[in-house]
Structure 1
Amino acid sequence: MDTHAADELRRLDTSGLLALFTTLEAPTIAEIDGEYTAALLAQPNLFAVVTGKVSVENPLGPWLCKAFRPVDENSGRGYNTFGEFGQVRQRYPMRTLLAPSRYDGAPAYTLVYRAYTSLCGSINMVDEVRRAAPGIYLGMGTWGFTDAQRRVARPFLLTGPVGPYRGDIGVARPAFTPGPRELPGPTEPR
């Protein structure tokens, strides 16, 4: 793993991270397998900083990892892990697939939370991930109830894998198919 690449990502502001993201390639479904240490990077505004601190940097339940497993060559499953009273808890299941990025239309490893019943699914969370270096991945998280809210990129860093996938969780939404809310493609012309 190239720790220099991770350090460089930590130094960039949100606009720099987004500009870099559009130059990176998506990992394959098969490449992303196991648990990856997760951390927020520079956030775009005060609201994102505060919601990030409360939701994933909370010392009472810190965000530890995102985890993934391929299901087939086109899709996978995943979850997030959080620390809780000395235990690791799996939360917020997602479906993974390669889809056009909302930022540039090029492929991104995409995490669709609405495929499962959870808080993240209810707020229309979708993450996009691209490879910054071997074992280093730059993610752009989005959530919200309007198109404008879902365009605000909330950057994060994944490194690993650091452990095995713990097992599937969650209740799938019956007959769910991702639509333009989850997979809007680019929001601006290339």
Structure 2
Amino acid sequence: MPQKDLVDLFATLNAPNMSEMVGEFDGTPLRQPNLVRSAVALAKVRNRLHLWKAKGFRQVDENTGRGYNIYRWAGTGRLAYSDPMTTQIATSRIDGRPAFQLDYRTFDTVCGAVNLVDDVRQVGPGLYLGFAMVGFTERQRSVLQPFMLEATSRPYVGDVGTPHSEQPLIRP
């Protein structure tokens, strides 16, 4: 589906409930909007050395949650749980309506350093459309990188990483 059609579809969808976004969700990157973002997706999520497979979420309280990404290492089939994020229902940068938002900026990771935020909405039962927004300027963040998530029966494995606010203070 062309990028414009995906954005138009996203605008018609609603945010899922926090309680619905629990467990692991298989991920599929969709066609990227340009060559630069295609190269980023190739390096990050379609990399043959570590292929992005899924995301996992848990609800912390009524309004917030935690999550991670799952990668499969080539050759070994071993799974890696990394790229943690916090989650919440928040105002989408795309259209100003509520979305399930994944905020990587709360962690000291590469994803956090490049200001990655994902907005996700429900397409149908167990199926979700998301857009990654990354960059240092509003213009960079306006280039939407689409992906799909599909619910599975796999449970959330456990938290990875420590959010900035939970990190102990380092004293001189």
- Once the two structures are superposed, what CA deviation does each residue of 1:26-79 show, in whole Å capped at 9, x if it has no partner? 001100001100011121111111110111001110001011000111010000
Match status 1:75 vs 2:87: no
- Once the two structures are superposed, what CA deviation does each residue of 1:86-111 show, in whole Å capped at 9, x if it has no partner? 21110100000011111111100000
- Once the two structures are superposed, what CA deviation does each residue of 1:119-140 show, in whole Å capped at 9, x if it has no partner? 1000000000000010100001
Match status 1:52 vs 2:53: no
Once the two structures are overlaid, the 10-residue window that deviates more, 36-45 or 123-132, is 36-45
TM-score relative to the length of structure 2: 0.93
Aligned CA-pair RMSD: 1.3
Higher RCO (CA < 8 A, seq sep 6+): 1
Query: How far apart in 1 are the matches of 2:11 and 2:163?
Result: 31
Query: How far apart in 1 are the matches of 2:46 and 2:117?
Result: 19
Residue 141 of structure 1 is aligned with which of 132, 141, 144? 132
**Where in structure 1 are there 5+ consecutive unaligned residues?**
1-11, 177-190
TM-score relative to the length of structure 1: 0.84
SS in 2 for 1:72: coil
Contact 1:37/1:162 (<8 A) preserved: no
Amino acid at match of 1:122: A
Match status 1:126 vs 2:108: no
In the alignment, what sits opposite 1:150?
A: 141
Residue 103 of structure 2 is aligned with which of 100, 104, 112? 112
SS in 2 for 1:174: helix
In the alignment, what sits opposite 2:170?
A: none
Q: What is the percent sequence identity of the aligned residues? A: 43
Tell me how far 1:161 sits from its aligned partner.
2.4
Aligned pair count reads 165
